[in-house]
Structure 1
Amino acid sequence: MVSNGVVPNVVSYNNMILAYCRVENMDKAYSIFSEMLEMGLKPNVITYSILMDGYFKNGDAEHALDMFDKMVAKKISPTDYTINTIINGLCRVGRSSEARDKLWSFVEEGFVPMRLTYNSIIDGFVKEGDVNSAQAVYSEMCDNGLSPNVVTYTSLICGFCKNKRMDLALKMQNEMKQKGLEPDVISYSVLIDGFSKTQDMESACRLFSELLEVGLCPNTAVYNSMISGFRNISNMEAALDMHKKMTNEGIPCDLQAYTTLIDGLLKEGKLLIASDLYLEMLSKGIVPDLIAFSVLINGLCRKGQLENACKILDEMDRKCITPNVLIYNTLIAGHFKEGNLQEAFRLHNEMLDRGLVPDDTTYDILVNGKVRGEKFVPGALVA
Structure 2
Amino acid sequence: MNFASDNVTGASAPILDALVQANAGAMPAYGEDPLTASLTARFREVFEHPELAVYPVATGTAANALALAAMVPPYGLCLCHAQAHVTTDECGAPEFFTHGAKLAHLPGTGARIDPGALEAALARLPRSVHRMPAHALSLSQASEAGLVYAPEAVARLSGIARRHGLTVHMDGARLANAVARLGCRPAEITWRAGVDVLSFGASKNGALAAEAIVVFRPDLADSIAYRRKRAGHLLSKGRLLAAQLHAYLADDHWLANASHANRLADRLARGLRAVAGVRLAWPVEANEVFPILPVRLARGLRAGGAVFYDWPTESLAPGESVGEDEVLVRLITAFSTPEAEVDALLALARDSA
The two structures have a TM-score, normalised by structure 2, of 0.27
Quick check: which has more Rg, 1 or 2? 1
Structure with greater proportional helix content: 1
Q: Which has the higher contact order (CA 8 A, sep 6+)?
A: 2
